[in-house]
Amino acid sequence: MEVGGKSSVSPIRRPRQLWLWFAGGFLIAFVGMLLMVRMMVMHSTGQYAVKIPLWQYYADALPELLGPSTLGPPSANGSALPEIALFHLLLSAAAGGAAAAVGWCIPRFRNRRAGEPNRRA
C-alpha cells in the first residue's frame, strides 16, 4: 500500500541467524573437549590407571556400557559414561548459548556505533 508515493510497509528484515552462532559455539566446544579433555580410567587389566582423551574414553566405554557386564576393577569405566556425556553436552550447550549471545550483541553494538558522532577531533 502506498501513501503519498511512499510504501507504508516496512522492508522485510532478515531474521538474525542466531542458531548458526549457537551451532558454531556448540561444535567448537564439543570437538574441543573431545580432543583436549583427558580422562583417568582403569587399564583393561585392572592393574593401573591411564589418562586417555575423551573421544577414546567414549570409544572404549560405550561397548562396555551396552555389552554384557563383568565384575571387577576393569569394568568400572562405562558406569560413569552417561554422566560424563551429559556434562559434555551441557558444557557444549552453554558454549553455544554464549556464542549466540555474542551474535545477538554484535549488531546492537554496530548500530550504536553508527549512531554516535565522530569524537575524534
Amino acid 116: pLDDT: 62
Burial class (CB in 10 A: 0-12, 13-18, 19+), 5: exposed
Strands 6-7 and 38-42: unpaired
DSSP conformational letter for 75: G
| pTM for the whole structure | 0.71
DSSP conformational letter for 35: H
Q: Report pLDDT digits (tens) over 7-43.
A: 555 555 555 688 999 999 999 999 999 999 999 888 8
Q: Report pLDDT digits (tens) over 35-80.
A: 999 998 888 777 888 999 999 999 988 887 777 766 665 555 567 8
